[in-house]
Structure 1
Amino acid sequence: MVEIPGPETPPLDPVYVQWSAAPADRAGRPLLVLLHGYGADEHDLFGLVPYLPREFVVAAVRAPLTPPFPAPGFSWYPIEGLDGRDPRHVTEAASRLNEWVSASSDLEPVGLLGFSQGAAVALQAMRLQPDSYAFAVNLSGYVTPGPLAQDDVLAELRPPVFWGRGTHDDVIPDFLVGHSTDWLPAHVELSGRVYPGLTHSVSEAELGDVATFLRKQLDEPAA
């Protein structure tokens, strides 16, 4: 099994979280956590809020690492160097996300929506704590290779996961797409779409599909 490493990645800073609702307006509502991609920040995916069902309280969090110069923004784990994309870095980032969710909100159910790196972290967080999340949205991301201790529990629960990606996405390596294609149907209730011509980005058609998926989660709350 992959061991959860020590706290090399800093905790998520609650100062750098964009909320769609004030504290007084959050009670009794489901929480959707947004995780941006490499080189972005908490403002990036927050622009999706108008496309998402209003029932959700949305929290867009900032990744804890700063990429090497001249890359802008923030990252969840390093992709440069000899240990770039090392699974332990993804696991550590997911552990930090789980800590933040546990400490920052008592809203439930909780869903995750990530883009690229953020999607990889979202899926890894769900694998670490399958009981904590009702669903996940994986946009242009992947499942991190290597077994985790709770994978069998996840396969029993089979939470809904939406996976959207483009035919012209040349950022995520083919072997990670192939691994995700094999792994996800065996562990989650998978739905999604491959978008012709889409690069490593999000389209309006994809946002429409995501909104439909999220509304279904509102109609069918987790048991």
Structure 2
Amino acid sequence: MSTLRAVRSPAPGADPAAPTVLLLHGFGSHEHDLAGLAPHLPSGLPWAALRAPLDLPHGGAAWFPITTPGSPDPAPVAAAADAIWAWVDAELGPDATVAPLGFSQGGLMATELLRTRPARVAATVVLGGFVAGGERPGDATLAGTRPPVFWGRGELDTVIAPHAIERTAAWLPAHSTLTARTYPGLAHGIDAAELADVRTFLTAHVAG
């Protein structure tokens, strides 16, 4: 059985051909946070908002501890990715495809799902997040297939370390068909313009 807690769409899997959008929250948040984005998703797409496995002392959860900002320890990142895939296999099925949408730490986890099992990821959305360093099992495949990835970030976002942004800006174009957007006036968050762009992206690559 899966161990991660989740909030799910009222009728998950109603369209068996549609990938499930996995909503992956940021550091210190919880499974109910990004569930609020569900009304902004294309209609008819099943979704699930997962809670990260690491409970924090003052509330909320995290996918991995913050050691060096922008350069996480690979072991807990891999463990978190394994936990997400275990949930997907148990709750959605071992052949289910997903479209991970993550914010901040959750954005990194969205790319980890893509990099570990690329054949099961229909499209990836990274909001205010980044790509971890090092090699992953699916990187060579991704360099050849270039699946669709949306990367959005605020022009005023100072939370993500600059070296992590530089790494992401180099890695994504080499491993994906990238849609990149920077939003004026936005800090470390998500605004209406970004949500509209995400909906357009998912409509084109997942719901179409």
TM-score, structure 1 length as denominator? 0.85
**Inter-CA distance 127–141: structure 2 relative to 1 (3 Å threshold):** same
| CA distance in structure 1 between the partners assigned to 2:61 and 2:104 by the alignment | 13
The counterpart of 1:37, out of the listed 3, 23, 26, is 26
The counterpart of 1:156, out of the listed 144, 147, 160, is 144
The answer to whether the 8 A contact 1:12-1:63 is kept is: no
Per-residue CA deviation, residues 109-136 of structure 1 (Å, 9 max, x unaligned), is 4211000001101101110111111110
Alignment RMSD, CA only?
2.1
Paired residues for 1:138-217 under 5 Å: 138-217=126-205
Please state how far the C-alpha of 1:197 moved relative to its aligned partner.
Answer: 1.6
| CA distance in structure 1 between the partners assigned to 2:136 and 2:190 by the alignment | 29
The counterpart of 1:134, out of the listed 113, 117, 122, is 122
Paired residues for 1:82-101 under 5 Å: 85-101=72-88
The answer to whether the 8 A contact 2:12-2:47 is kept is: no
The answer to whether the 8 A contact 1:29-1:108 is kept is: no
Matched residues, percent identical?
Answer: 42
Please state how far the C-alpha of 1:201 moved relative to its aligned partner.
Answer: 0.3
Please state how far the C-alpha of 1:95 moved relative to its aligned partner.
Answer: 1.9
The answer to whether the 8 A contact 1:18-1:59 is kept is: yes
Q: How many residues align?
A: 206
Asked whether 1:105 is paired with 2:89, we answer no
Paired residues for 1:6-45 under 5 Å: 13-14=3-4, 16-22=5-11, 25=14, 27-45=16-34
Name stretches of at least 5 consecutive residues in structure 1 with no aligned partner.
1-10
The residue type paired with residue 99 of structure 1 is A
Name stretches of at least 5 consecutive residues in structure 2 with no aligned partner.
none
